[in-house]
């Protein structure tokens, strides 16, 4: 299902009123993104980028204007951390502050942005995606680990500053967060919750317009966010339970959206479908599906079907190349393999379209993902309406 086919009643977070495009006037530069999208569509009519050749009003509008917390999940290997970083850049426009968080202890943000390993503290990371002549916003980053979060929690609610650090030295903190996974998730999500809920009363703390969470994989995302249920057998009352219940009011509200990242392969698409069903069953708000690492589709269906060695040899000869048998056979084999891959991707794309949620696509970048590539991907997410 494409974005313009969505039913607003089924997806209350999605802003479908394209007629309200003038409300977003000035959010894009008509001499930049729209022109690029139209040129890509003209030069590569069969490519994924042709889908960006839409009226400027579409490019200017976000599908998720009410969302403050964007949770990004996906099966391992689908590129959810890359999508999280690109989304943070895309959201940080027009002077907005965005916080990009990670909770899996891999220091993925530091590697992607080529900075030193992040501490358990918010750090200014980079400027956001430029839009026209307007001043871009700022992306901050936070690496959250359960041990540091527990020490902060003990200091805030039980005044155990030095005593808490002493417990950490003897391993009590690690022990406590390991034997009670529900508590661990409350601590990790609690820091994210605090960042989303900040306002002018939090003196000295940065107030964020949006928070992007690079969350655990799809198979664990419902358990991770459903902290109230996870604590049911551990804490019936008390500050931890109270905090978990309060956080659930945010996680189940229209201010949160859980976006799922997939690739056009059978297992990731199936896990995405299962994840969406699980989120719905637990009343957690489903966002969009980002189809990542999409291969370019420069060849037409007729060209894909042209695996006749004689035709390939004639084409090689026509451009002045020697149609040696080994070269022809190799090209024919690669062509057939590419055609099979395209058929598989077409079938999986059809399944993604049946999931009933907004979908977005990002290309596989041959040069890999560096900071420049992240900005490129951010521009594509914004052009398609995820940011």
Mean pLDDT of 140-147: 91
Would you call 270 exposed, middle or buried from its count of C-beta atoms within 10 A (0-12, 13-18, 19+)? middle
Q: Is 256 helix (H, G, I), strand (E, B) or coil?
A: strand
State the pLDDT at residue 86: 98
Mean pLDDT of 153-169: 53
Rounded-to-integer distance, Cα 292 and Cα 348, Å:
13
Comparison of pLDDT for 129 and 170, the residue scoring more: 129
Residue 61 tokens read as 């509008």
Rounded-to-integer distance, Cα 357 and Cα 286, Å:
8
Average pLDDT, the chain: 79
The crossing angle, in degrees rounded to 10, of helices 181-197 and 218-225 is 80
Among 61-70, 107-116, 195-204, 318-327, whose mean pLDDT is lowest? 195-204
Residue 21 tokens read as 């495009």
Token pair 């005044």 is at which residue?
159
Q: Is 327 left (phi over 0), alpha (psi -120 to 50) or beta?
A: alpha
pLDDT digit string, tens, across residues 187-212: 889 899 999 998 766 677 899 999 99
Mean pLDDT of 298-308: 72
**Residue (of 125, 119, 124) closest to 147 by Cα position:** 119
Q: Is the pLDDT confidence value at 270 over 90?
A: yes
- Which residues make Cβ contacts (< 8 Å) with residue 178, sequence separation at least 6? 184
Q: Is 212 left (phi over 0), alpha (psi -120 to 50) or beta?
A: beta
What is the pTM (predicted TM-score) of this model? 0.79
Mean pLDDT of 244-272: 95
Sequence length of the chain is 387
pLDDT digit string, tens, across residues 7-50: 343 455 554 333 333 323 333 343 443 344 444 444 444 444 44
pLDDT digit string, tens, across residues 305-322: 667 888 889 989 999 999
């Amino acid at each position: 299902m494409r974005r313009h086919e969505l039913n607003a009643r089924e997806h209350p977070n999605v802003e479908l009123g394209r007629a309200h495009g003038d409300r977003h006037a000035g959010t894009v530069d008509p001499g930049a993104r729209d022109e690029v999208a139209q040129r890509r569509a003209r030069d590569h009519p069969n490519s994924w980028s042709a889908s960006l050749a839409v009226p400027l009003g579409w490019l200017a509008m976000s599908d998720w204007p009410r969302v403050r917390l964007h949770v990004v999940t996906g099966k391992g290997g689908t590129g959810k951390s890359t999508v999280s970083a690109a989304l943070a850049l895309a959201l940080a426009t027009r002077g907005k502050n965005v916080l990009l968080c990670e909770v899996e202890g891999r220091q993925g943000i530091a590697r992607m942005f080529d900075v030193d390993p992040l501490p358990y503290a918010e750090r200014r990371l980079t400027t956001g995606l430029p839009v026209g002549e307007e001043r871009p916003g700022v992306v901050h980053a936070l690496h959250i680990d359960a041990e540091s979060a527990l020490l902060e929690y003990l200091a805030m609610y039980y005044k155990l500053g030095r005593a808490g650090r002493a417990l950490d030295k003897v391993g009590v903190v690690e022990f406590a967060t390991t034997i009670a996974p529900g508590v661990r998730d409350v601590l990790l999500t609690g820091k994210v919750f605090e960042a989303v809920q900040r306002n002018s009363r939090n003196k000295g703390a940065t107030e964020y317009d949006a928070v992007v969470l690079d969350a655990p994989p799809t198979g664990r995302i419902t358990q991770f966010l459903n902290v109230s249920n996870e604590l049911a057998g551990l804490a019936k009352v008390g500050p931890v339970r109270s905090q978990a219940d309060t956080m659930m009011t945010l996680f189940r509200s229209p201010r949160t959206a859980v976006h799922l990242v997939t690739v056009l392969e059978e297992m990731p698409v199936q896990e995405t479908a299962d994840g969406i069903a699980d989120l719905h069953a637990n009343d957690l708000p489903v966002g969009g599906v980002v189809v990542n690492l999409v291969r370019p589709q420069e060849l037409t269906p007729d060209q894909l079907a042209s695996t006749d060695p004689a035709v390939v040899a004639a084409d090689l000869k026509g451009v002045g190349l020697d149609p040696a048998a080994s070269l022809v056979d190799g090209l024919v084999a690669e062509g057939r393999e590419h055609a099979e891959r395209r058929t598989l991707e077409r079938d999986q794309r059809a399944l993604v379209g049946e999931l009933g949620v907004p979908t977005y696509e990002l290309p596989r970048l041959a040069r890999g993902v560096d900071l420049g590539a992240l900005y490129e991907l951010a521009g594509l997410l914004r052009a398609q309406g995820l940011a």
